[in-house]
Amino acid sequence: MISDITMGQFFPGKSVIHRLDPRVKLCLTVYFIVLIFCAQNFVTMAATIFMCLLGIALSRVPLKLYLKSLKPILFIVVFTGVLNLFYGTGEPLVQLGFITITRNGILNSIMIAVRIVVLILISSILTFTTSPTQLTDAIERLLKPLALLHVPVHEFAMMMTIALRFVPTLLEETEKIMAAQKARGADMESGGLVQRIQALIPVLIPLFVSAFRRAFDLATAMESRCYHGGAGRTKMKVLKFGRVDFVSLAICAAFLAAFIALNILIPPAVVR
């Protein structure tokens, strides 16, 4: 079923990670993603993986859900991993016709696979523990400096909030319409590519009609509550830094110092 997709789903909770300020979470997510790609040797790599696992443990979201979020990208991980295997430099370990596998190639492919997995896990921590509203709030706040350049930051954030808000609604709607058309004998499981695309028409047209209907309804509802965009608008829940935020920022700063030192001191795993 469509609703089984876990990527980007929010799981309400009260863990430390849930309580972190969304701005901090967003920045730290980017920070760790950058770190995992900068890690040159096994020590720094392991340290970053450890931080990622620590985040998972602290989030108190069942591990099963993290594993489920990895499922859709399994193919990409294997594909890039295998591809990297053949592009190593240095002394060949195995030579089979035009295929050459080197030590560097093996290390490279493992590292790439691990990096992608960690990337997904880290972003899952963010999306599992942060509601879409909090997330767009954080983005709006972080992008605020751009407003000086006349970028409509608030409108952009509002559009994103609405889009995210309606993803589950439209998924549910899609399922309902599909069920209704299947009940009229629509065949969506068999046939060639052309037939399958044609079979989508009875689903897509009602879906678009209903998406537009919802858009008009929402616009009316917003206008009847006198919504007029960002200027002078205050927030009900003002984002505020707390103790957890300062502590985690401090830890991550210390981690960064250690990371840079170790990354320079210990020779890289892949010798260029």
8 binds other proteins (CB under 8 A): no
Q: Which stretch binds other proteins (CB under 8 A): 16-24, 96-104, 199-207, 261-269?
A: 199-207
Helix (H, G, I), strand (E, B) or coil at 95: strand
Site for other proteins in 209-228 (CB under 8 A): 209-210
- Residue choice 46, 63, 179, 254 for contact with other proteins (CB under 8 A): 179
181 binds other proteins (CB under 8 A): yes
> Are residues 66 and 24 in contact, defined by beta-carbon separation less than 8 angstroms?
no
238 binds other proteins (CB under 8 A): no
Site for other proteins in 23-82 (CB under 8 A): 62, 64
237 binds other proteins (CB under 8 A): no
- Residue choice 76, 159, 167, 201 for contact with other proteins (CB under 8 A): 201
Cβ at position 188, least distance to other proteins in Å = 10
Tokens of 107: 């290390």
CB-wise, 184 or 235, nearer to other proteins? 184
Q: Rounded distance, CA 121 to CA 52, Å?
A: 7
CB-wise, 19 or 182, nearer to other proteins? 182
CB-wise, 202 or 230, nearer to other proteins? 202
Q: Rounded distance, CA 229 to CA 155, Å?
A: 7
102 beta partners: 92
| Amino acid at the residue 192 | G
| Amino acid at the residue 103 | R
Q: In this structure, how many other beta carbons lie within 10 angstroms of the beta carbon of residue 216?
A: 9
Q: Which stretch binds other proteins (CB under 8 A): 43-51, 108-116, 183-191, 225-233?
A: 183-191
* Residues 6 or more apart in contact with residue 25 via CB below 8 angstroms: 17, 126, 129, 130, 138
Helix (H, G, I), strand (E, B) or coil at 197: helix
13 binds other proteins (CB under 8 A): no
Q: Rounded distance, CA 121 to CA 67, Å?
A: 9
Q: Which stretch binds other proteins (CB under 8 A): 33-41, 104-112, 184-192, 243-251?
A: 184-192
Question: Per-residue x/- mask for other proteins, residues 159 to 178, rule CB under 8 A?
Answer: --------------x--xx-
230 binds other proteins (CB under 8 A): no
Nearest to 138 by CA among 21, 229, 54, 1: 21
Nearest to 123 by CA among 31, 221, 235, 256: 31
- Cα angle: 82, vertex 40, 124; to 5 degrees: 70
194 binds other proteins (CB under 8 A): no
CB-wise, 131 or 174, nearer to other proteins? 174
14 binds other proteins (CB under 8 A): no
Residues that bind other proteins (CB under 8 A): 62, 64, 173, 176-177, 179-187, 201-202, 205-206, 209-210
